[in-house]
Amino acid sequence: KNEVEQSPQNLTAQEGEFITINCSYSVGISALHWLQQHPGGGIVSLFMLSSGKKKHGRLIATINIQEKHSSLHITASHPRDSAVYICAVRSPESGGGADGLTFGKGTHLIIQP
């Protein structure tokens, strides 16, 4: 079983829809990251969370440490939001070692106009 599980793996939605991507993890963590990866490979960090909720523009990330679960929400989605969204955790218990990240497989999001 992967230490970081994301759902859904693929998501296609219409422009304007509210999007939710989920991440569950099985190890104790010191931080959780949400990352965005566009075709061609470049990765951009969206959020780093250790508790609660963060908001940046139309993006909202929440984490529940007790339930070992995080969600990434996109409000008023737009075609330019189309990308792969990756959840990653920092945990000394995981394959990423004490400071490297352990990643989920990503959620491939397509927003259609």
Partner 1 sequence: DTGVSQDPRHKITKRGQNVTFRCDPISEHNRLYWYRQTLGQGPEFLTYFQNEAQLEKSRLLSDRFSAERPKGSFSTLEIQRTEQGDSAMYLCASSLAADGSYEQYFGPGTRLTVT
**Residue ranges that bind partner 1, judged by CB under 8 A:** 4, 30-31, 33, 35, 40-45, 48, 86, 88, 90, 95-106
Q: How far is the CB of 50 from partner 1 (least distance, A)?
A: 10
Q: Which is nearer to partner 1, 19 or 101 (CB)?
A: 101
Smallest distance from partner 1 to CB 99, Å: 6
Closest approach, Cβ 56 to partner 1, in A, equals 13
Nearer to partner 1, 99 or 113 (CB): 99
Locate the DSSP E strands across the chain.
4-7, 10-14, 19-25, 31-37, 43-49, 52-56, 59-64, 69-74, 83-90, 101-103, 107-112
Q: Which of 87, 55, 85 is nearest to 68 (CA)?
A: 87
Match 């996109």 to its residue by tokens. 74
